Amino acid sequence: MNAGRFRVHADVADWAIAVGVTAALLVTGLSGQGSGTYPGLLGVALLAGGGLALAARRRAPVLVLAVTGACAVGYQAAGFDVPAVAYLFAVYAAVRAGHRVATLAGSVAVLAALPLAALASGLHDTGEAFAQARGALELAWLVAAGAAGEALRQAERRAEEAERTREETARRRADEERVRIARELHDSLTHQISIIKVQAEVAVHTARRRGEAVPESLLAIQEAGREATRELRATLEALRDDDTTPPRGLDHVPALVERARATGLDARLTIEGERPEVPVAVDRTVYRIVQESLTNIARHAAAATASVRIDYGPGALTVRIDDDGRATPESAPEPGVGLLGMRERVHALGGRLRAAPRCAGGFSVQAEFPVDRAS
């Protein structure tokens, strides 16, 4: 949007300059004709054409340079003693765009042709000294226009270089921050999760050796410890390596539902529609939403059943998780860190999230993401 607005403003400015220069050329050229002299139609057309050509100086600077130079030589030959103002603007634009060689060659040709055109039309027959002075003035104006264009080009290049340096610095700092976070996560969580996993596995192994029945809750703790270890390892690798491939995504949602069933929750998964090409960020976020929702159900909802529904609709992916827990519209729970993080993830991807108790009881989480289908 900003780029389009800037382009419109630049076009308006170019046309304003072109119209202003055209008006100045026409007024100067027509006022220079004697009251008894009929202005030549070709000369007037060349004056107007040279000025109006400046409207395209950003898009085709070399072409505009050639057109304005030819028009300047043409109206001089037609008897209009008018400075090559439009050509000066064209020189500035061409040098600013980086066409220094073409500008130099064109300017040499124009400087050589202008005196010949003036002599052919009968202008400037007042002597050699006057012609030399006029040539020196034209050369000075051309050098000034080229120098102004080159100065601005260098300034723009320095600004782009500074912007690129800032982006590289920001990227480097982000990489350093990712490594720092990964180190802190490793130091603070890996040890505790490893202890939980080892203790659960020891308890399961001991119970089986004694021939005792292993409680389902203990098996769930064991599996959760293994999954937490895998998730933490994948997260640390993603933070350290900035890998664009998500550690978990839509393909792993069925495994989440199966693990929820292993804890005693009657969890079911329904998938509707044909799966399109899903962006990596959306793929990862859907998995996280289902994971967080099922975790909340197991911890807080006291639910017996839960349903996970993924709907691949036209231009959108919708995921919905419902449970029959104890939440009601009158006793809505305060949103925790998990729900807030969920909402931030969805909104960052241009989607919408609704998380609220259901009228019939229980809680519902629904997220919708825009997805472009390949044609």
DSSP for 42-61? HHHHHHHHHHHGGGGTTT-H
| Strand (E) or helix (H) holding 266 | strand 266-272
Q: What angle do CA 229, 231, 233 make, to 5 degrees?
A: 70
CB neighbour list of residue 127: distance below 8 Å, 6 or more residues apart: none
Nearest to 52 by CA among 81, 16, 80: 16
Exposed, middle or buried by CB within 10 Å (0-12, 13-18, 19+), for 363?
buried
User: For 40, phi and psi rounded to 5 degrees?
Assistant: -75, 135
Please report the pLDDT score of residue 235 as a whole number. Answer: 65
Please report the pLDDT score of residue 127 as a whole number. Answer: 47
Q: Are 216 and 264 in contact (CB under 8 A)?
A: yes
- From first to last of its 375 residues, what are the pLDDT tens digits of the chain? 455 565 667 778 888 888 998 898 888 878 866 444 455 788 888 888 888 998 988 889 999 999 998 998 888 888 787 888 888 889 988 998 888 898 888 888 888 888 788 777 666 554 454 455 555 566 777 788 888 888 888 888 888 787 777 777 777 776 677 667 766 666 566 667 777 777 888 888 888 888 888 888 778 887 777 777 766 666 666 565 554 444 688 999 999 899 888 888 899 999 999 888 888 888 988 998 998 888 888 877 788 999 999 999 988 999 999 999 888 877 766 666 567 778 877 888 888 999 889 888 889 999 999 987 543
Please report the pLDDT score of residue 310 as a whole number. Answer: 95
The CA distance from 228 to 225, in Å, is: 5
Q: Alpha helix locations (H) across 278-350? A: 280-296, 337-348
Nearest to 300 by CA among 281, 279, 325, 337: 325
pTM to 2 decimal places: 0.44
Kindly tell me the sign of the dihedral angle through the C-alpha atoms of 256, 261, 264, 268.
positive
Please report the pLDDT score of residue 11 as a whole number. Answer: 78
